[in-house]
Amino acid sequence: MILQKIIIKKILYATDLSESALHAFSYAVSLAGLYNAGITILHVLDEEPKLDNKILGYVSLSKWEEIKKRHEEDARTALIGKTSGQAFIGDVLNQFCNDAEKNLEEQKFDIDEIIVTRGHPVEQILTQAKEKAIDLIVMGTHGSGTLTDAMLGSTARRVLRRSTVPVIVIRLPAE
């Protein structure tokens, strides 16, 4: 048997801005350094139709769209890190990138793109992976428990099942 050479040039790091996603970022950075790959960061603002229906009883459609647009801009700003202290998430990601660069001096990494979009997280992750010709998806999982995962089905589980490219799912380590 001849093993094929694995080439990874584009990594999609999908984040929900949780602690487990931040932990998974260290794996994306490490792999990007090892393979000299670029990282695309993706954050999806979940558009849940049930929530829209509930909210529309309280505010008008135009007001609700304005609120969602503002949330999208806040998330984008937080990920890019251009905030004035209100959104600490951007600072955390920037600091994490700086720390990763210092800790992995021999393994440089590049952030190719930061995407903040709306939609169903699984669909958006798979769509972006295809559109950007991604070689590997890296994402975290909350690992809330086998029964919960089996009953609810996590985003990571659904991406794993449907992805045409390899997916690395990182669990937050036990404390």
pLDDT in the model for residue 123: 94
- 33-42 residue pLDDT tens: 889 999 998 8
* Residue partners of 15: CB distance under 8 A and separation at least 6: 21, 22, 24, 25, 41, 42, 43, 79, 139, 140
Return the CATH class of domain 10-171.
Answer: alpha beta
- 28-65 residue pLDDT tens: 988 998 899 999 988 887 766 555 555 555 667 777 67
C-alpha dist (Å) from residue 141 to 1, 23, 106 = 34, 10, 28
- Domain locations in the chain? 10-171
pLDDT in the model for residue 117: 80
Tell me what the pLDDT averaged over the chain comes to: 76
pLDDT in the model for residue 88: 40
pTM of model > 0.75: no
Written in H, E and C, the secondary structure of the chain is CCCCCCCCCEEEEECCCCHHHHHHHHHHHHHHHHHCCEEEEEEEEECCHHHHHHHCCCCCHHHHHHHHHHHHHHHHHHHHCCCCCCCHHHHHHHHHHHHHHHHCCCCCCEEEEEEEEEECHHHHHHHHHHHCCCCEEEEEECCCCHHHHHHHCCHHHHHHHHCCCCEEEEECCCC
pLDDT in the model for residue 114: 79
- 81-132 residue pLDDT tens: 544 333 444 454 555 566 666 766 666 778 888 787 888 999 999 999 999 9
- Residue the block writes with tokens 């202290």: 85
